[in-house]
């Protein structure tokens, strides 16, 4: 975790409490801890490329210097079976490789191991100006080489590309620093699409055209057009249009993606309205629920009481008790054309109920019919539950707060795109956070933890500055940005004006 988060987040709510809210297992949050969690082996192939060989030797020394556990390829094989390495090991492979004998042919699966391809030269399409061209070039390279991460190396620079759409180029002079700040987080927090065991399908379908969701769906349809017109969202890169070396590799990629028809980046969502009761000042004991008063809040900042989770935020030198609510959002399904939405087929409802994820599938689709939840599901719901917690705190500390009123009356808008904004161009009341976090993909547990902890940082800053809190901008370095506000239509204009 970056300096910003190290200094402020634990004083508001512990990481243990955040993990319990999201039912996420503890994960390393700093680049240093991520390095210590890694186990890396080098695939014994010869690249016949001087730049690659030289880079790999320096990379090995850097990883060792950061206490990465480097094992031999034979040791990796000994931990596995049938010519495949043990689970959890990162396999670094130099050169183009031979079909049938790529690194991917010697791992248990794309979900259980990460493959890093190191290649000489530059990929010609990665420097294209248009977002769509860069995305298509990146995905095409990843599936051809069957790798999660590709590193291109030339005489002066090295470029790291991965499945979250990141394309970062550095000089060889900055190798040591960038291995820690950029590469290690990408290896330690791999992208793993949501699998069916990660969520529960609700019995009743979701009717986007129902009167209950009329204003939210209207905003999503109008907003998607504006986000598309501004060029902020890329279209789906379809699996059928990608070139694989063999049909077997295509099947491996399809299984990894839970048989999605392709990959697309970004999401649009609307958090459904929620009445967030005011937080309770723990020093005002008479206002606290009787059972809660007896707990030792100096020992822990979260407890489950009679089936409900309570957390205690430390804000403005006081402690405030909040009962964590269940939250729901209407969200674009994975892989849909986000700029041309069909509400009856492309919108689903995600809910976080005591840390469990529920998905309500559209009436005209089922989970087998290409209606998968977003890669970023847990992060989306982390933002939603964070919004509810912030609203509860504001209802106590600043009853006239715009944010609390927006959530209660019509819900909130959430969006993620692969771009950034200038903080100086943001309207008053928007708080920016996340700049100093390690660059992890939006689909990882780390990203969800950073999303929720960052909102609390944003809340604290607004209270200290005496500024009305209206939304937040969560930067994910080397990846993109999540933004929360009043409507997707408003956010499209805001991002276009403040974007970079």
What CATH number did the domain enclosing 336 receive? 3.40.225
pLDDT of 475 reads: 95
pLDDT of 7 reads: 35
Q: Can you read off the two tokens belonging to residue 255? A: 């299984």
Contact 414, 383 (CB under 8 A): yes
Write the CA distances from 74 to 77, 91, 287, 365, 464, integer angstroms: 5, 12, 63, 47, 56
Is residue 323 located within the same domain as residue 227? yes
In a domain, 9, yes or no: no
Question: CA-to-CA distance for 144 and 268, rounded, in angstroms?
Answer: 29
pLDDT of 11 reads: 78
Is residue 81 located within the same domain as residue 226? no
Is residue 183 located within the same domain as residue 218? no
Q: Which residues contact 298 (CB under 8 A, 6 or more apart)?
A: none
Helices then strands, counting H and E runs in the chain, come out as 16, 22
Is residue 273 located within the same domain as residue 253? yes
pLDDT of 498 reads: 87
pLDDT of 191 reads: 82
In a domain, 369, yes or no: yes
Is residue 159 located within the same domain as residue 206? no
- Residues facing residue 232 across a β-bridge: none
Q: Residue 247: count other Cβ atoms within 10 Å of its Cβ.
A: 8
In a domain, 273, yes or no: yes
pLDDT of 166 reads: 81
Question: CA-to-CA distance for 405 and 273, rounded, in angstroms?
Answer: 10
In a domain, 2, yes or no: no
Is residue 346 located within the same domain as residue 371? yes
Which letter does DSSP use for residue 181 in this model? I
**For the chain, how many structural domains are there in total?**
2
Q: Which of 184, 167, 168 is nearest to 176 (CA)?
A: 184
Contact 338, 268 (CB under 8 A): yes
Output the tens digit of pLDDT for each of the chain's 500 residues.
333 334 334 479 999 999 999 999 999 999 999 999 999 999 988 666 789 999 999 999 999 999 999 999 999 999 999 999 999 999 999 988 899 999 999 998 888 899 999 999 987 777 656 677 777 888 888 889 999 999 999 999 999 998 877 888 999 998 999 999 999 999 999 887 777 778 888 888 898 888 889 999 999 999 999 998 888 887 777 778 889 999 999 988 887 776 666 666 789 999 999 999 999 988 876 655 666 777 888 889 999 988 899 999 999 889 999 999 999 999 998 878 888 899 988 899 999 999 999 999 887 655 555 567 888 999 999 999 999 999 999 999 987 889 999 999 999 999 999 889 988 999 999 999 999 999 998 889 999 999 999 999 999 999 999 999 999 999 999 889 999 999 999 999 999 998 76
Q: What are the two backbone dihedrals, phi and then psi, of residue 336, each rounded to the nearest 5 degrees?
A: -75, 165
pLDDT of 1 reads: 32
Is residue 125 located within the same domain as residue 268? no
Q: What are the two backbone dihedrals, phi and then psi, of residue 372, each rounded to the nearest 5 degrees?
A: -95, 145
Q: Residue 58: count other Cβ atoms within 10 Å of its Cβ.
A: 14
CATH of the domain at 81: 3.40.50
Label residue 240 exposed, middle or buried (CB < 10 Å: 0-12, 13-18, 19+): exposed
Per the structure, the complete domain to which residue 279 belongs is given by 196-498
Last residue of a domain, one of 188, 210, 239: 188
In a domain, 13, yes or no: no
Question: CA-to-CA distance for 458 and 10, rounded, in angstroms?
Answer: 14
Is residue 46 located within the same domain as residue 138? yes
Question: CA-to-CA distance for 338 and 271, rounded, in angstroms?
Answer: 17
The two beta strands, 114-120 and 90-94, are parallel
Q: Can you read off the two tokens belonging to residue 275? A: 């009445």
Output helix, strand, coil percentages for the chain, rounded to the nearest 5: 40, 20, 40
Residue 93 belongs to what H/E stretch?
A: strand 90-94
Q: Taken in order 359, 363, 365, 366, is the CA torsion positive or negative?
A: positive
Question: CA-to-CA distance for 400 and 102, rounded, in angstroms?
Answer: 60
Following DSSP, what letter does each residue of 35-83 receive, concatenated?
A: HHH-EEEE-------HHHHHHHHHHHHHHHHTT-EE--HHHHHHTSBTT
Last residue of a domain, one of 144, 169, 188: 188
The radius of gyration of the chain from alpha carbons, rounded to an integer in Å, stands at: 23
In a domain, 23, yes or no: no
Q: Can you read off the two tokens belonging to residue 162? A: 């991965």
Is residue 176 located within the same domain as residue 298? no
Question: CA-to-CA distance for 70 and 88, rounded, in angstroms?
Answer: 13
Q: Residue 465: count other Cβ atoms within 10 Å of its Cβ.
A: 11
Contact 500, 473 (CB under 8 A): no
Is residue 145 located within the same domain as residue 221? no
Is residue 297 located within the same domain as residue 381? yes
In a domain, 324, yes or no: yes
Given the structure tokens 């689709």, which residue do they identify? Answer: 365
**Predicted TM-score (pTM) above 0.85:** yes
pLDDT of 418 reads: 87
In a domain, 35, yes or no: yes
Last residue of a domain, one of 188, 217, 237: 188
Is residue 273 located within the same domain as residue 402? yes
């Amino acid at each position: 975790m970056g300096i910003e988060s190290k200094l402020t987040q634990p004083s508001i709510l512990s990481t243990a409490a955040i993990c319990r809210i999201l039912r996420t297992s503890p994960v390393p949050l700093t680049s240093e801890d991520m390095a210590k969690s890694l186990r890396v082996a080098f695939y014994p192939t010869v690249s016949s490329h001087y730049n690659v060989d030289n880079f790999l030797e320096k990379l090995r020394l850097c990883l060792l210097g950061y206490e990465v556990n480097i094992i031999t390829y034979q040791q990796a094989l000994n931990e596995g079976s049938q010519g495949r390495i043990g689970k959890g090991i990162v396999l670094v492979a130099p050169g183009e490789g031979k079909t049938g004998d790529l690194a991917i042919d010697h791992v248990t699966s794309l979900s259980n191991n990460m493959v890093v391809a190191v290649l000489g030269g530059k990929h010609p399409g990665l420097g294209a100006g248009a977002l769509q061209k860069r995305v298509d070039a990146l995905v095409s390279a990843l599936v051809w080489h069957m790798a999660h991460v590709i590193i291109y190396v030339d005489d002066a620079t090295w470029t790291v590309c991965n499945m979250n759409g990141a394309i970062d180029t550095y000089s060889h002079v900055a190798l040591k620093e960038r291995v820690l700040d950029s590469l290690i987080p990408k290896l330690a927090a791999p992208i793993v699409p949501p699998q069916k065991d990660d969520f529960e399908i609700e019995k009743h379908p979701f009717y986007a055209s129902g009167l209950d969701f009329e204003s939210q769906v209207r905003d999503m349809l109008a907003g998607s057009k504006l986000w598309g017109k501004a060029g902020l969202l890329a279209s789906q890169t379809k699996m059928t249009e990608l070139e694989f070396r063999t049909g077997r590799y295509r099947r491996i990629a399809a299984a990894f993606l839970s048989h999605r028809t392709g990959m697309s980046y970004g999401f649009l969502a609307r958090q459904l309205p929620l009445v967030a009761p005011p937080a309770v000042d723990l020093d005002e004991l008479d206002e606290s629920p009787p059972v809660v008063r007896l707990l030792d809040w100096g020992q822990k900042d979260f407890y489950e009481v009679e089936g409900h989770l309570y957390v205690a935020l430390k804000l403005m030198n006081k402690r405030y008790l909040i009962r964590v609510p269940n939250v729901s959002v209407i969200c674009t399904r994975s892989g849909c054309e986000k700029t041309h939405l069909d509400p009856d087929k492309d919108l689903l409802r995600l809910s976080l109920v005591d840390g469990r994820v529920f998905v309500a599938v559209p009436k005209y689709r089922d989970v087998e019919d290409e209606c998968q939840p977003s890669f970023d599901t847990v992060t989306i719901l982390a933002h939603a539950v964070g919004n509810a917690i912030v609203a509860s705190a504001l209802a106590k500390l600043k009853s006239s707060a715009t944010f609390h009123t927006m959530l209660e009356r019509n819900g909130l808008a959430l969006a993620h795109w692969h771009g950034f904004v200038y903080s100086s161009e943001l309207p008053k009341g928007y708080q920016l956070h996340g700049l100093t976090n390690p660059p992890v993909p939006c689909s990882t547990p780390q990203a969800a933890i950073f999303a929720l902890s960052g909102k609390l940082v944003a809340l604290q800053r607004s209270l200290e500055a005496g500024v009305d809190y209206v939304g937040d901008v969560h930067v994910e370095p080397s990846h993109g940005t999540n933004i929360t506000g009043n409507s997707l239509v408003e956010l499209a204009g805001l991002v276009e004006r403040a974007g970079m």
